[in-house]
Structure 1
Amino acid sequence: MNKLQAMEVFVQVVDAGGFTRAADNMQLPKATVSTLIQSLEAALKVKLLHRTTRQVTVTADGAAYYERCLRILSDVREAEESLSRTRLSPSGRLRVDAPTGLASEVLVPALPDFFARYPDIELELGSSDRQVDLIEEGVDCCVRGGALADSNLIARRVGFLHFLTCAAPSYLERYGRPQHPNELLRHRCVNYFSSRTGKIFEWDFTRGDELVQTLLPGSIAVNDANAYLAAGLAGLGIIQTVRFVLEPLIAEGKLELLLPDWTSAPIPIHVVYPQNRHLSAKVRVFVEWVAELFAQHPGMRLPKTARALNTEFTL
């Protein structure tokens, strides 16, 4: 038995809460995972896991061994990756998840620079508007906007999302142009609801000391960034979304800017990752690259006079 491999498998089983997810995350046959755990328990002469047909839970001895394994594996990983840091060439598979719009409009166009720096990294980029479970789904790090609910994750703030309010010319021809946020109550708006909670997000507007924050009427609500933008372009209602997506469409005349004197509170954006990934050279260089990319992006910096809204948002 390879003791280090068995430790890694044991940690994955505990993190994932089962043999099947752990096997999928490690790209190993389920039988191999089961055999390694049995061999580890036999060598230690102690039961590490309680197994039932529905779930796998860790024993008291297993919990103590799990903490030791984390420290040992982190030390081994740090020793190995110190060589990668010396060569400045981390390698291997890196699983990342990012919101749909941010992935397509900002991250993907900049990836040639990332691969020029780190040609040996194999990037798997997932993009969706749902909040993934990093541990269960085997994701190394994730880009998230808004409040961070999971305190078990390490987070680094890398930028801010700025918003504009727009509508298609076809909508404005039919319903007119609002001059104040309060007038939106008489308009049709495209609403966005949380994939996690089903809650419709409020709209907010600021001008000087004035603040308007309210739910707005709409004939349609979606939970996908592409569908949201498509609804606005189709003239289904007024939309409010991120500046870097809207500005090119405004320049092309496909959308028109509304309420230019009013701003919406910027939302912080973070890169988050599990605590047991904090020594990974692959994660470290990706986080540094994202932070540098966003710092240089005109649509991601926070103006000194702006206030940030710490709320949930999916892009």
Structure 2
Amino acid sequence: MDQLSAMHTFRRVVDLGSFSAAASQAGVSHTVLSRQVKNLERALGTQLLTRTTRRLHPTEAGLLFYRHCVLILDQVQAMTLELSEHQLQPTGTLRLSVGSAFGDLELGRWLPDFVEQYPHLHVELNCTDRFVDLLEEEVDVCLRVTDHLPDSSLVARLLTPSPVLLVAAPGYLERQGSPSTPEALSTHPMLGYSRLQQPQRLTLSAADGSRRDVLMPRRLSANSPMALRAAAIGGLGIASFDRFIVDDALRDGRLVPVLRDWHLPGRNLYAVYPHSRYLAPKVRALIDYAQQYYATTRWGCD
């Protein structure tokens, strides 16, 4: 029995919670992986996994063995990478996941320069607003603008704050009037992001610590930030956006801020990646580049 191969299999099965998911990721049959784990249990003289109808769970011995597998396999990977001369420069395929609006509006500003710096690196880009399971989908890095961190099995490195603000088209405010207080928002239609549970409910705060909860009537909801941006520019109502989504429209006057003295809770841009004792050169290169780029404030507040 190939001990390292069996350890890889066991770690993958525990990480993904099932033989089927692990087999799909490894590109082999369920039977092959199941046999490897059974041979491993026979060689160690102990049961490593308990099987339920929905998921696999490591036994107490299995959990201990899993921890040693992680340590040993990470050390082997680190040794292999350090001894491979070609890995001194990032090579291979970097699987990068970003939100759809971030991919449309931000990546073009810096990703071409990053790619030019590393000619032996191939970037496989996935733009999606759905939840991405980095381990199951074998994603190396995920860049996400969010107001909450992922679970503890992932590493999240803060890149830059992402201000959130209310905006509308000048033509809309000329027709409907510009609200001067948070309460006045209740008479204006909200263009809401449908992936949020209550997109029409806002919490605003002022510099003196005052807070207001506002419920706006819904006029249009969409699961695409870019569609909502187009609707706002078209004058359909008031909307809240991360600053990077509307930065160019604010600068050229297609959109203007609403209630400048009141602020929505901000969010942050994170680089999220699986935890590992050794960070692959391709992942480190992307994260370091993005962190350096966003060290300079990119999304100001007017």
For normalisation by structure 1, the TM-score amounts to 0.80
1:252 Cα shift?
4.5
1:119 to 1:9, Cα distance in 2 relative to 1, 3 A: farther
Number of residue pairs the alignment of both structures matches: 299
Is the contact made by 1:84 and 1:281 (CA closer than 8 Å) also made in structure 2? Answer: no
Is the contact made by 2:185 and 2:214 (CA closer than 8 Å) also made in structure 1? Answer: no
Q: Which segment drifts farther, 235-244 or 253-262?
A: 253-262
Q: How does 1:302-313 map to 2 (within 5 A)?
A: none
Partner residue, 1:308? none
Matched, 1:171 2:165: no
Partner residue, 1:309? none
Partner residue, 1:311? none
**Per-residue displacement from partner, 1:190-228 (whole Å, max 9, x unpaired)?**
233545xx3437434454325444233132344432233
Partner residue, 1:186? 187
1:13 Cα shift?
0.8
Is the contact made by 1:164 and 1:240 (CA closer than 8 Å) also made in structure 2? Answer: yes
Unpaired runs of 5+ residues, structure 1, are 304-315
Is the contact made by 1:194 and 1:201 (CA closer than 8 Å) also made in structure 2? Answer: no
SS at the partner of 2:166?
strand
SS at the partner of 2:276?
helix
Provide the C-alpha distance between the structure 2 equivalents of 1:188 and 1:199, rounded to a whole number of angstroms.
14
1:75 Cα shift?
0.4
Provide the C-alpha distance between the structure 2 equivalents of 1:17 and 1:87, rounded to a whole number of angstroms.
31
1:215 to 1:153, Cα distance in 2 relative to 1, 3 A: farther
Provide the C-alpha distance between the structure 2 equivalents of 1:21 and 1:56, rounded to a whole number of angstroms.
11
Q: How does 1:30-109 map to 2 (within 5 A)?
A: 30-83=30-83, 88-109=88-109
Unpaired runs of 5+ residues, structure 2, are none
Is the contact made by 2:194 and 2:222 (CA closer than 8 Å) also made in structure 1? Answer: yes
1:277 Cα shift?
6.4
1:72 Cα shift?
0.3
Partner residue, 2:215? 216
Is the contact made by 2:182 and 2:212 (CA closer than 8 Å) also made in structure 1? Answer: no
1:106 Cα shift?
1.4
1:55 to 1:232, Cα distance in 2 relative to 1, 3 A: same
Partner residue, 1:306? none
1:55 to 1:208, Cα distance in 2 relative to 1, 3 A: closer
Is the contact made by 1:74 and 1:279 (CA closer than 8 Å) also made in structure 2? Answer: no
1:90 to 1:3, Cα distance in 2 relative to 1, 3 A: farther
Is the contact made by 1:202 and 1:213 (CA closer than 8 Å) also made in structure 2? Answer: no
Provide the C-alpha distance between the structure 2 equivalents of 1:15 and 1:248, rounded to a whole number of angstroms.
42
Provide the C-alpha distance between the structure 1 equivalents of 2:86 and 2:119, rounded to a whole number of angstroms.
15
1:291 Cα shift?
0.9
Provide the C-alpha distance between the structure 1 equivalents of 2:81 and 2:264, rounded to a whole number of angstroms.
43
Q: How does 1:153-164 map to 2 (within 5 A)?
A: 153-164=154-165
Matched, 1:133 2:128: no
Is the contact made by 1:85 and 1:281 (CA closer than 8 Å) also made in structure 2? Answer: no
Q: Which segment drifts farther, 68-77 or 170-179?
A: 170-179
Is the contact made by 2:98 and 2:127 (CA closer than 8 Å) also made in structure 1? Answer: yes
Is the contact made by 1:164 and 1:246 (CA closer than 8 Å) also made in structure 2? Answer: no
**Per-residue displacement from partner, 1:46-100 (whole Å, max 9, x unpaired)?**
3322335533222222221111100001101111222468853123333332222
Partner residue, 1:280? 280
Matched, 1:151 2:152: yes
Could you say what the CA RMSD is over the residues aligned between the two structures, in angstroms? 3.0
Provide the C-alpha distance between the structure 1 equivalents of 2:249 and 2:178, rounded to a whole number of angstroms.
18
For normalisation by structure 2, the TM-score amounts to 0.83
1:261 Cα shift?
4.4
1:252 to 1:112, Cα distance in 2 relative to 1, 3 A: same
Provide the C-alpha distance between the structure 1 equivalents of 2:35 and 2:91, rounded to a whole number of angstroms.
29
Is the contact made by 1:203 and 1:215 (CA closer than 8 Å) also made in structure 2? Answer: yes
SS at the partner of 1:276?
coil
1:238 to 1:83, Cα distance in 2 relative to 1, 3 A: farther
Partner residue, 2:199? 200
1:34 to 1:297, Cα distance in 2 relative to 1, 3 A: farther
Is the contact made by 1:204 and 1:211 (CA closer than 8 Å) also made in structure 2? Answer: no
1:267 Cα shift?
2.1
Identical residues among aligned pairs (%): 34
1:278 Cα shift?
5.0
Name the aligned partner's letter for residue 191 of structure 1: G
Name the aligned partner's letter for residue 61 of structure 1: A
Q: How does 1:292-307 map to 2 (within 5 A)?
A: 292-299=292-299
Partner residue, 1:255? 255
Name the aligned partner's letter for residue 150 of structure 1: D
